[in-house]
Structure 1
């Protein structure tokens, strides 16, 4: 187990490595996970996330590859919200709406990083203090995000925060996973299980309508494992709205420990995900343009899949959805763990 440090001019990249050779590389800029190397069934260590070959591309990255997203991940309708009858106006950076914390979001700050190591794990503590009014949000918020890698090939992401004013907060990581290794193919032939029987309907602006839809009998029912590419079509209205794929909030049923299990038959890799979050946005890179030079290949549609575990920013309008409100002085404590294994 070790932590390697690489100085990249104004940024620093840290690489966590366990005794199995699994390695996770993270920038202090945006807390970006640039690479995750895990073995396939033939023992080949390959990268299973999307990232740029030229790290300078992260400065203007509109895809949020591997970043910590906040203060609020997802879209806030009309780029404003109300708390206790006071209106807070945010930057509209996605049409008329506010997306992923806006231009001053956590994906574009340099985090204060402290590496740590024990006999059984190695990790990074990333700290940031977001000041009152930053990005239009209320409250001085202390935030600690911890990345931990152990010898069971588990990567644990934990989020802690506290605000001196009641505010809104929904942090997540925006890694795009592709288990083929080194981007050999899109994720269309990945097989996916999600512990969810309900998802949130979207309108043409990709804003939740307030209607919870039953997944049964639709391309959104992943309870019994199905091919991810089944939804890469225009036949079902909700797949069409997001440009042939998924960009929807799934509510977890909490029937299973693993909220997500992703498998790639070609490599034998399996990724299981646990989380104490109430749900997630699954995004299948529907709007990822072609031709970007990534670390191993050129970008293309459906090249990766994101599992953005979080509460829902739509809860600011739709009270039935999991709330993003963090009350003054309360602790925000969330966790998502990814376990990498091989198909037996």
Structure 2
């Protein structure tokens, strides 16, 4: 097993910063996945975070396209908690007013995003140490057991996330979970991408296609209204590829609420519910890099780094500017436990939560 690069610096960072926040910080390690094509993905068992994704451009030049840090301390103490590269949950995205009712009982969660609950709470899955096993040079399994009432959620939840890197430059993320009490679950991967390279300016020239004819409008606190609205004739229409920045400053109430795009799109699913469906495609003209995403999930949250403002400095030593990265978070819909018309996110004893997302990297 490979430990975190710059090991001495990392140990010093942890010794200086953890102070009980990460109880078993000595077990934090960095694992490298590498395929026959030379693509690498680095993963730490702190937060199941993807710290680096290195892929070629159209001329074969390699670059790290995932935003993040060189030191664990920065993940632990980051301003505004951007969730760079992490697995988020037990419920990714927002739950209104930090509460939901299940089987006649109301559960209260942390309000860590204004009046709402976000990405699993104060110490969500992004802030715990997972048990990691590198199965092969191209595959790692990460396991975590969330205790009953951890962050307010019911049920002892066993979670396994598997990252697999193929020789076709696919990064496959498989999720599996079981519980001993009914509980909401909505896991997602929260990598910020910049296909020019991390720290290489904003992503407004990236061309995005989303396989979604509807999205879920939100209120001013970014909680869905419950409606599924058509994207046609709005800035939210990415059914044909267009630059991310083309419509981002249009006079539209939803863009004002999000400070730009920070919404869930309803994927146009084909086939059975648990089959992979094409979700998104991103092309960056300067490098020629392409990212395509397929998923078994019904939705995808597109967030274009509206809250990045240059205060965070990444691996290359460059500040992460406003809209310096984008996220495409495959998921069930936000606030589903409080939205009876949305697909259910309730996992029951005896059932298995299964989900798969594939990130395909190429050039043109």
Query: Per the shorter chain, which TM-score range?
Result: over 0.9
328, 331, 347: which one aligns with 1:310: 331
174, 177, 187: which one aligns with 1:161: 177
Q: Distance in 2 between matches of 1:173 and 1:182?
A: 17
Q: Deviations over 1:56-111 (max 9, x none)?
A: 11002310000010100011101010001100011111111111000120000000
Matched, 1:262 2:278: no
Q: Distance in 2 between matches of 1:145 and 1:164?
A: 19
Q: Distance in 1 between matches of 2:349 and 2:246?
A: 44
User: Structure 2 length as normaliser, TM-score?
Assistant: 0.90
In the TM superposition, residue 317 of structure 1 has moved relative to its aligned partner by: 2.1
* Counterpart contact for 1:76–1:98, Cα < 8 Å: yes
Matched, 1:69 2:88: yes
Q: Distance in 1 between matches of 2:332 and 2:213?
A: 17
Aligned length: 337
Look up the SS of the partner of 2:255 in the other structure: helix
Equivalent position of 2:76 in the other structure: 59
Unpaired segments ≥5 residues, structure 2? 12-25, 271-275
Matched, 1:286 2:331: no
**TM-aligned CA distance change 1:141 to 1:221, over 3 Å:** same
* Superposition map of 1:128-139 within 5 A: 128-139=144-155
* Counterpart contact for 1:53–1:293, Cα < 8 Å: no
Give me the CA root mean square deviation. 1.4
Q: Distance in 2 between matches of 1:313 and 1:224?
A: 25
Q: Distance in 2 between matches of 1:258 and 1:318?
A: 25
Q: Distance in 1 between matches of 2:34 and 2:190?
A: 21
Equivalent position of 2:104 in the other structure: 85
* Counterpart contact for 2:98–2:116, Cα < 8 Å: yes
253, 267, 291: which one aligns with 1:252: 267
Q: Distance in 2 between matches of 1:251 and 1:133?
A: 30
Q: Distance in 2 between matches of 1:4 and 1:54?
A: 15
Q: Distance in 2 between matches of 1:142 and 1:82?
A: 22
* Counterpart contact for 2:207–2:284, Cα < 8 Å: yes
Equivalent position of 1:216 in the other structure: 232
User: Structure 1 length as normaliser, TM-score?
Assistant: 0.95
Matched, 1:185 2:213: no
Equivalent position of 1:36 in the other structure: 53
What stretches of structure 1 move > 4 A for 4+ residues in a row?
Answer: none
Q: Distance in 2 between matches of 1:38 and 1:133?
A: 40
Equivalent position of 2:41 in the other structure: 24
Q: Deviations over 1:225-262 (max 9, x none)?
A: 1111123215122112111x211010100259421111
Q: Distance in 1 between matches of 2:115 and 2:198?
A: 36
Equivalent position of 2:297 in the other structure: 277
Unpaired segments ≥5 residues, structure 1? none
